[in-house]
Amino acid sequence: MALISEKFNDALNAQIQEELYSAYLYLGMSYWLKEHNYNNLGEWYFIQYNEELAHAYKFMDYIVETGGSVKLLALDSPKIDWKNVEEIVNAAYGHEQHITGKINDLVILAEELKEFAPRELLQWFISEQIEEEASSSELVNRQKEFHNDMLFDHHTHRVSGSTTSEE
């Protein structure tokens, strides 16, 4: 018998869809920024795109390990007609707040179902969302402080794996 319940398996498949949509959203942001010569910011969101894929893989691996079944649900097209950099950083922060809510819903569901196996996985995502919100709100603040998006771009760097954008 599978360690994962059908209900929790369905919820994780929905979360995989959220993570893949996040990846798609950040990929669109990345290329909008690159098209408009904000190359460092474009790279920042490209790294974020890859992080979101890694989040989806983490849920998929858990489903397989616990005897469940991975479903890849359809993705909507993300917004790509951004007005400016400010709109992007604000949307990214809002999106991360939305994802934090989804992770919290999974925690609540696991408790309701008395499903304890995913505790470590969910704790990892709770901590990850603290970082995700911190790094995306930091970009919102830095964009405001610079008053000049080219300068903001020039001073924003991110290496793969780090969540900060400092110079």
- Beta carbon of residue 147, minimum distance to ligand OFO (angstroms, whole number): 27
- The DSSP 8-state label assigned to residue 71 in this structure reads -
Distance, CA of 129 to CA of 55 (rounded, Å):
11
**Taking CB under 6 A as the rule, does residue 15 contact ligand OFO?**
no
Among 96, 115, 149, 153, binds ligand OFO (CB under 6 A): 96
**Which of 60-79 are b and which e, b meaning 16 or more Cβ less than 10 Å from the residue's Cβ?**
bebbeebebeeeeeeeeebe
Between CA 66 and CA 93 the distance in angstroms is 32
Least distance from ligand OFO to the Cβ atom of residue 52, Å: 5
CB 97 within 8 A of CB 67: no
Nearer to ligand OFO, 52 or 153 (CB): 52
The only residue of 19, 43, 115, 153 in contact with ligand OFO, by rule CB under 6 A:
19
Residue 78: CB minimum distance to ligand OFO, A: 12
Q: Alpha-carbon distance 3 to 115, whole Å?
A: 9
Query: Which of 132, 152, 156, 158 forms a contact with ligand OFO (CB under 6 A)?
Result: 132
d(CA 167, CA 162): 13
Q: Which CB sits closer to ligand OFO, 99 or 122? A: 99
Closest approach of ligand OFO to the CB of residue 161, in Å: 14
Farthest CA pair distance, the chain: 58
CA count, 13 A, side-chain hemisphere, 154? 6
Closer Cβ to ligand OFO, 67 or 94, answer by number: 94
- Interaction pattern, residues 42-81, with ligand OFO; x per rule: CB under 6 A: ----------x--x--------------------------
The contact set with ligand OFO (CB under 6 A) reads: 19, 22, 52, 55, 96, 99, 132
